[in-house]
Amino acid sequence: MIKFFLVICIIFSLFNCKNEKDKSIVISREQESISTNAIESEIPHEIKTYLDSNNDFEILTEKDLKLINEQVKNTSILTYLKGDFNQNKIDDFAIILRYKKYKNDIYTNYNFPFLVIFNDYKNGVVPNIVYKSGDYAKEDIKTVIYDQFDEGIFSYLRKGKVCDRKVIDIVIPEKSSFFVFWNSNKLSYEFLNYLDEDLCQKLSINQNSSKGNLTLSENFSFKFLTSKSENESIKKEIKILLTNEKTNKIQEIDFIPEALLGSFNESPSNYSYFSDEKQIIETSEGIEVYHKLIVLDVNFDGLEDFAIINYEGGNGGPQYAYYIQKPNKEFVLDTYLTENIRYFPIEINKQEKTLTIGHPSGYCKIRTYKIQIQSNGEWKEVYSKLEDIK
């Protein structure tokens, strides 16, 4: 009888141990904060397709995530977020990625992690790479993501709220937290510290001051009135209303695009390269993914100009009409850029005052050339190359 009870106790103990072991496995799995597989499964299909075909970005690896998983035992840790970060009621996606095109003078062979936000990605996948701005812009390392190099990233993302505005928190454990918010005047993301003074004031001056209008800068806002016609052969006329935010003066421009695919909708399809602090800007406009309204300083005079979609649907990609801002704050059509250049530059070089344009030419060829603004305001071609499309 004693032996029988001993056998029962041993079986019960083994069964109990197995249950405790199974329970510990479950708990352990619940505490696994982030993994590469989890990240990839959450990336929207449109963005995943873009990343798979783009060599500039790398999805974080398990090694990248090791440090943050070890330091912070919290299941809410994320390296990606879904939300409406640019406040236009269209889905956006924010994610930490390795960015190969950023080069640091000190760490020349290192690929830094960056916060990359894809605004309105269902309407077109265009990466917004978030650099340090404001008081932090001059720091040696430009990324807003804190990194321990070989040990892995030491930041994670969280949705936050500052002065009634939704922001993206850049959480750095055991350090002060930072956040990123959408600057609706510059149409770009800004970077601030929670310890900075006058946060509410800094946020309020970067809100869109033109109700119902599209603001690409602190100086002007855009509104568009599109004529409707049931006859598709009749070209649509777009009335552009430009409001000077300081004087409230309105300039009306009657613009008839050559050919548009569908209706003109300015809200999800605009961008500004004007506020970019880099001396050489590699633009993100392409054949399939592009913006319909773009603000830039196209003639390097320090004033905001804009390009508006003029023709789309061709094999060479979208073509634009260019409007130049004059010293009197009025915009006029630049016929040379509109009729002869047409395409949007793939590079804007502020140092050399050149625009680099690349587009298909002939059979399986691509032409790349540079034009440079001269002292008399005219453009001169300074470089040209024709090569096979690779």
Which pLDDT score, from 0 to 100, does residue 351 have?
93
pLDDT at 13 over 70: no
Q: What is the pLDDT of residue 269?
A: 58
pLDDT of residue 116: 96
Length of the chain: 390
> Which whole number is the average pLDDT over 42-49?
92
Residue 102 DSSP SS3: coil
Buried/exposed 320-356: b ≥16 CB within 10 Å, e otherwise: bbbbbbeeebebeebeebbeebbbbbbbbbeeeebbb
Which whole number is the average pLDDT over 83-93? 87
**What confidence score (pLDDT) does residue 169 get?**
94
Residue 300 has pLDDT above 70, yes or no: yes
Q: What band does 289 get if pLDDT is binned at 50, 70 and 90?
A: confident
Percentage of residues of the chain with pLDDT beyond 70? 80
Residue 11 has pLDDT above 50, yes or no: no
> Is residue 211's pLDDT more than 50?
no
Q: Is the pLDDT of residue 231 over 70?
A: no
Is residue 25's pLDDT more than 90?
no
Does the pLDDT of residue 208 top 70, yes or no? no
Residue entry with tokens 């625009």: 355
Higher pLDDT, 2 or 172: 172
d(CA 235, CA 258): 7
- Which pLDDT does position 185 carry in this prediction? 63
pLDDT at 166: 87
Looking at the predicted structure, is the pLDDT value of residue 213 above 70? no
Least confident of 177-191, 318-332, 338-352: 177-191
For 27, phi then psi, to 5°, come to -60, -45
Task: Residue 169: count other Cβ atoms within 10 Å of its Cβ.
Answer: 19
Residue 277: band (very low, low, confident or very high) from pLDDT cuts 50, 70, 90: confident
Q: State the pLDDT at residue 206.
A: 57
User: What distance in Å separates the CA atoms of residue 174 and residue 156, rounded to the nearest whole number?
Assistant: 12
Lowest mean pLDDT among 73-87, 135-149, 240-254, 340-354: 73-87
**Phi-psi bin for 101: left (phi > 0), alpha (psi -120 to 50), beta?**
alpha
Q: 172-193: per-residue pLDDT in tens?
A: 887 778 999 988 766 788 999 9
Q: Which long-range contacts (CB under 8 A, 24 or more apart) does 253-260 make?
A: 253/323, 253/331, 255/308, 255/321, 257/308, 257/309, 257/310, 257/311, 257/321, 258/310, 258/311, 258/319, 259/235, 259/311, 259/312, 259/313, 260/236, 260/309, 260/311, 260/312
Render pLDDT for 137-172 as a digit per residue (tens, 0 to 9): 889 999 999 998 888 899 999 999 888 788 999 998
- Which residue in this structure is represented by tokens 């918010």? 181
Q: Residue 10 — very low, low, confident or very high, per pLDDT cuts 50/70/90?
A: very low
Q: Is residue 235 scored above 80 in pLDDT?
A: no
Given a cut of 80, is residue 195 above it in pLDDT? Answer: yes
